[in-house]
Amino acid sequence: MIEKIIEHFGLEKHPEGGYFREVYRSENYIENESLPENIVGRRSYATSIYFMLTSDEVSKLHRIKSDETWHFYGGDPLVVLEIDEDGNVHRTVLGNDFLNGQQLQYTVRANRWFGAYLEDGGEYSLVGCTVAPGFDFRDFEMAQMTHLNEEFPEIEFDDKIVNELI
């Protein structure tokens, strides 16, 4: 089933883990002078991708300079783990059981460390990610433990973060 989904959507390996394919990139641009000062160069208004995680992979902790909205499409529940500006860890479960607290979509704010993983026992999760202003790899940064220790020296991160997401 997983291989069929990868083939059907034309997914490729993603540097953070999982599989992806860009499906939309706006032809219109926001010029640099209208963007936050930490973004260099112009950006598309928005971009979107299909993204799939399987049971043997995680989306490693990373951050980007734009807001990213995750949309659940199918498969098993997916946990989006996010570290806010104060070092608090938040876990949001994406899935179709919305009457029991799962979310159909969730937005991670710009410049926050985040990653994702399947809940125990899950095979795969297929989601979409929409980024505005549009995604650019110049805005993408993978986490290292030194980053987290420098930004949040008073926080002791749990084993899931230290052992699996970095």
pTM attached to this predicted model? 0.93
Q: 165 pLDDT exceeds 90?
A: no
Helices (H), 54-143: none
Give the C-alpha separation, 29 to 47, whole Å: 11
Q: What is the model's pLDDT at position 84?
A: 94
Read off φ and ψ for residue 135, nearest 5 degrees.
Answer: -65, 140
Q: Please report which confidence band the pLDDT of residue 80 belongs to, taking 50, 70 and 90 as the band edges.
A: very high
Compute CA distances 49 → 71, 102, 127, whole Å: 10, 21, 8
Percent of all residues in the chain with a pLDDT value above 70, rounded to a whole number? 100
Contact (Cβ atoms closer than 8 angstroms) between residue 141 and residue 124:
no
Lowest-confidence pick of 40-49, 77-86, 121-130, 154-163: 154-163
Q: What does the mean pLDDT of the chain come to?
A: 94
The residue whose two tokens read 């963007």 is: 35
Q: By C-alpha distance, which of 110, 80, 112 is closest to 95? A: 80
Contact (Cβ atoms closer than 8 angstroms) between residue 108 and residue 51:
no
Q: What is the model's pLDDT at position 68?
A: 98
Domains observed in the chain: 2-165 (2.60.120.10)
What's the whole-number mean pLDDT along residues 52-69? Answer: 96
Q: 160 pLDDT exceeds 90?
A: no
Q: Please report which confidence band the pLDDT of residue 147 belongs to, taking 50, 70 and 90 as the band edges.
A: confident
- Amino acid letter for position 46: A
